[in-house]
């Protein structure tokens, strides 16, 4: 027999699982997953982002998804962060480690990790 409190616990535990299906969050983190991206190691980046978003409980706010070739193959793996009314942020030459920091500081904290962006890389 489950009490109301136990049911609420199940709801909270399962919520992450179904929020993905209620449409997209206000922030979209898009990983380039074309051949070039995969070859450069995009898959661990994607997995790290997904895990971190779940761990930081950002499921309702952030949608992690993939896209095809962005056209900057030499900078792969690339992660782009879209947020309504803000300029797109492009992170380049990502790794799983860097992805975790982006999740913590940018997706959660709202602060762009400037040193990983394409602007910093092109300097």
Query: Which positions lie near other proteins, rule CB under 8 A?
Result: 1-4, 7-8, 10-11, 14-18, 20-24, 28, 30-35, 37-38, 46-47, 50-51, 54, 63-68, 80, 82, 84, 88
Supply the DSSP symbol for 103: I
Q: How far is CA 106 from CA 38, 76, 102, in A?
A: 23, 19, 5
Q: Which is nearer to other proteins, 65 or 114 (CB)?
A: 65
Minimum distance from residue 102 beta carbon to other proteins (Å): 16
Q: 15 by DSSP, 3-state: which?
A: helix
Q: Which is nearer to other proteins, 46 or 113 (CB)?
A: 46
Minimum distance from residue 112 beta carbon to other proteins (Å): 17
The DSSP bridge pattern shows strands 27-32 and 89-91 to be: unpaired
Residues paired with 32 in a beta bridge: 67
Minimum distance from residue 67 beta carbon to other proteins (Å): 5
Task: Please say whether the beta carbons of 56 and 107 come within 8 A.
Answer: yes
Q: Which is nearer to other proteins, 70 or 123 (CB)?
A: 70
Minimum distance from residue 26 beta carbon to other proteins (Å): 11
d(C-alpha 34, C-alpha 51), whole Å: 21
């Amino acid at each position: 027999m489950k009490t109301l409190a136990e049911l609420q616990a199940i709801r909270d535990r399962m919520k992450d699982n179904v929020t993905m299906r209620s449409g997209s969050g206000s922030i979209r983190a898009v990983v380039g997953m074309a051949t070039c991206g995969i070859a450069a190691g995009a898959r661990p980046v994607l997995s790290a982002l997904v895990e971190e978003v779940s761990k930081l409980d950002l499921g309702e706010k952030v949608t992690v998804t993939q896209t095809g070739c962005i056209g900057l193959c030499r900078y792969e793996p690339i992660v782009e962060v879209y947020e309504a009314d803000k300029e797109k942020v492009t992170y380049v030459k990502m790794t799983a480690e860097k992805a975790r920091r982006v999740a913590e500081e940018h997706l959660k904290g709202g602060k762009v990790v400037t040193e990983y962006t394409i602007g910093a890389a092109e300097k």
